[in-house]
Amino acid sequence: MTDTPQRSRPLRVLAAMSGGVDSAVAAARAAEAGHDVTGVHLALSANPQSFRTGARGCCTIEDSRDARRAADVIGIPFYVWDLAERFREDVVEDFVAEYEAGRTPNPCLRCNEKIKFAALLDKALALGFDAVCTGHYAKVVTQPDGSRELHRASDMAKDQSYVLGVLDGRQLAHAMFPLGDTVTTKDEIRAEAERRGLSVAKKPDSHDICFIADGDTRGFLDARLGTAEGDIVDETGARVGTHQGAHGFTIGQRKGLRLGTPAPDGKPRYVLDISPVTNTVTVGPAASLDVSALTAIRPRWCGAAPAGPAAYTAQLRAHGGETGVTAEPVDGGLRVAFAEPVRGVAPGQAIVLYDGTRVVGSATIASTDRAAAGAA
């Protein structure tokens, strides 16, 4: 059954309110269910003006004010907590370091792991709260023995369980996702917000990376890592172009390569490999992106770790589909073999394993085996 922590009594709930419509409705539903709810907005930038503004933000001064107004309408206490330093260290600096190392990180997963369900949850528990409530679309199912499982949202179109796959059993024990059980459209959530008198009802969703003010990821990385001319080479090692920094590329990228030498077959070429040590980017045909297996590190299990190899489905990006895999914990990491080759798999990304709708756990991709060319 779907449940909230210790449902037999009203809970003291800390509702993380971003200033958007989803978190506002989630807080309102928690309060309507009879819980003692306090709203909190996380100040994640030492200089909020440097984060996105208007419709593109989730960490701005406007968002803080929108969250406060929503809390006032719901009738719950509201606070702003400064987690800017922790966010800078655990999310922003990690993001830069991963790109510098030639990997492709997902900062939303890192934020959920390190900020919303680590720093925030730890502080909430220390203050006597029972649960942290967010506007994520996922659900927690309580088993007869009291254990809790993370599952996909009832509405697969809005499911956000992928970015929550980093949560462990302790964190799930104190997580609340009031939107996860409803099979509703975003328009219906907005209509509910309007019925509740929440001014964020028509506020556009935030997009992309909250701490990159103009959406220019390459420019953001250039400013922090500098630029340095390097070679773009094909699979034979022949130089076909130049670039201003290997950190500006991701595995599977096609656009923006600006190659001076066309491929012999005239077909598009894609980024196959990134070497930060030599500042070299390797490109080749789409078929060379096919991956048959991968090794992942830092697994985090939403419950007990698997005892051996088993069949699952896997999701490789936030808005991607599922693919069949066999996965096995090996030497503190995870070894995954795909039922059929997949493309666009990059070190640094997260792989999240599912057993039906249940999230088994997640891990960070460290290396891949190319279907035709061996290990990448």
Q: Which residues are catalytic?
A: 111, 210
Instruction: Report how far Cα 122 is from the mean position of its chain's Cα atoms.
Output: 20
DSSP structural state of residue 306: P
- In total, the chain counts a number of residues equal to 376
Q: How far is residue 103's CA from residue 212's CA, in Å, rounded to a whole number? A: 18
Q: How far is residue 276's CA from residue 279's CA, in Å, rounded to a whole number? A: 5
Across the strands, what pairs with 327? 310, 336
Q: How far is residue 253's CA from residue 264's CA, in Å, rounded to a whole number? A: 19
Name every residue whose Cβ is closer than 8 Å to that of residue 191 and which is 6 or more positions away in sequence.
201
Q: How far is residue 352's CA from residue 317's CA, in Å, rounded to a whole number? A: 9
Q: Are 279 and 230 in contact (CB under 8 A)?
A: yes
Distance (Å) of CA 89 to CA 22, 114, 337? 27, 10, 33
Q: Which two three-digit tokens encode residue 244?
A: 């201003």
Q: How far is residue 48's CA from residue 50's CA, in Å, rounded to a whole number? A: 5
Task: Please state, as a whole number, how many other Cβ atoms lie within 10 Å of the Cβ of residue 275.
Answer: 14
Q: Which two three-digit tokens encode residue 368?
A: 């891949």
Cα angle: 142, vertex 41, 182; to 5 degrees: 35
Q: Are 138 and 144 in contact (CB under 8 A)?
A: no
Element (H, E) at 85: helix 84-87
